[in-house]
Amino acid sequence: MKTKTNIFLIILLCLSIVVVSTSCSSGVDKPSSEGAENNEGDVIVDYPNRIITIVVPYAPGGTHDLLSRLLLPYFEKRGYKMIVQNITSGGGEAGLYEVVNGPNDGYTLVMFSPEVASCQYMTGALEHPFWRELKYLGNFVLDPSIVMVKGDSPYNSLEELFEAAREKPGQLKWNCLGARGKNAFEAYNIFKETNTEFNYVPVDGIPTIKTNLLGGHTDVGMFQLSEGVELHKSGDIKILGVAAKERSVFLQDVPTFAEQGYDLYFGLTRCWAAPPETPQEICDLLTSVVKDVYDDPEAQEAMANMNAAAFWMEPDELKDFGEHWYAIYQEMDARIKKE
């Protein structure tokens, strides 16, 4: 009997040590609207005096994660030591909550796009309109959405595709990531503006969209440009249109939506933000360093090698971007609910 009690005690001891130590070091799991203490005064004199953590709420090796990691050396050259921490979960809420509820001393930043935050607030995944309060530090990349078909598909332009859809409403399959998220709303926005009706089939990952396209299990696919460049260059898929203001430098031969008669612009920003209560001086300092790295030709080249379109946006522009899309998402959501 003694061995049994021994074991239970040891198990209990070990587990409690682990649980207590890890919950102390990581932030609170539940979202709350209060933040940590606010350090005022001459914090800026001493900043930064230790490593800054960039929380990336997405899996390591993904496009968001890679962009952050790629840029770290350029910040280090300017005296800003940073590391990336991945806190993954679903659409990225866990990482965001972690940072928002954590310290505001400028040593923890998060990589979260305002338009994604506004979308998730609308769908209820986020409980608070964070995009209005986060202190953005400037935007690195604006990855436009692309619409594509299989390489040997009969459609060679957006118009041909939309014409075919108008002839057979609801028959052509459109694959996108997620049933009620940013991509879904963009897709429904397209349907509305082009007066077409596609069979919207949500899937769980971009690899699935790619295999579905290549295997003929879907007619159309839509995701971000950086993910599709390689397959387009090899001819396996055909990108029919880019939802950007100008032609992409990576796809010179592909016209934009605007060139084909549809004034539609969608993109995914890639930016860093500080938690809401971070002192403004620190945010301004960080923004200027971010801009400096952005302008660095080596950094620009690194981003270009990832097929990521560099696009600078000021912090206020990012906030407005999120607001602009919030309104559109609400409209699209109402439309989807009606169906």
Residue holding tokens 């790619």?
A: 210
> Could you tell me the smallest distance in angstroms from the CB atom of residue 61 to other proteins?
2
Looking at the Cβ atoms of 3 and 42, the one nearer to other proteins is 3
Nearer to other proteins, 28 or 327 (CB): 28
Q: Which residues contact 285 (CB under 8 A, 6 or more apart)?
A: 44, 47
Three-state SS at 128: coil
Both tokens of 168, joined, read 């057979």
Nearer residue to other proteins within complex by CB, 226 or 287: 226
* Shortest reach from residue 23's CB to other proteins, in Å: 5
CB of 94 to other proteins, least distance (A): 6
Decide whether 129 or 245 has the Cβ nearer to other proteins.
129
Task: In angstroms, give the least distance from the CB of 44 to other proteins.
Answer: 29
- Judged by beta carbon, residue 10 or residue 51, the one nearer other proteins is 10
The residues near 106 (Cβ < 8 Å, ≥ 6 apart) are 43, 47, 48, 52, 274, 278, 279, 282, 283, 286
N-term to C-term CA, the chain: 65
Spatial separation of the C-alpha atoms in residues 283 and 314, rounded to whole Å: 12
Q: Which residue's CB is nearer to other proteins, number 174 or number 257?
A: 174
DSSP secondary structure of 35-70: ------STTGGG---SPEEEEE-S-TTSHHHHHHHH
Q: How near is the Cβ of 140 to other proteins at its closest, in Å?
A: 15
Classify 158 in phi/psi space as left (phi over 0), alpha (psi -120 to 50) or beta. alpha
In the chain, how many H helices and how many E strands? 11, 9
Shortest distance, position 291 Cβ to other proteins, whole Å? 23
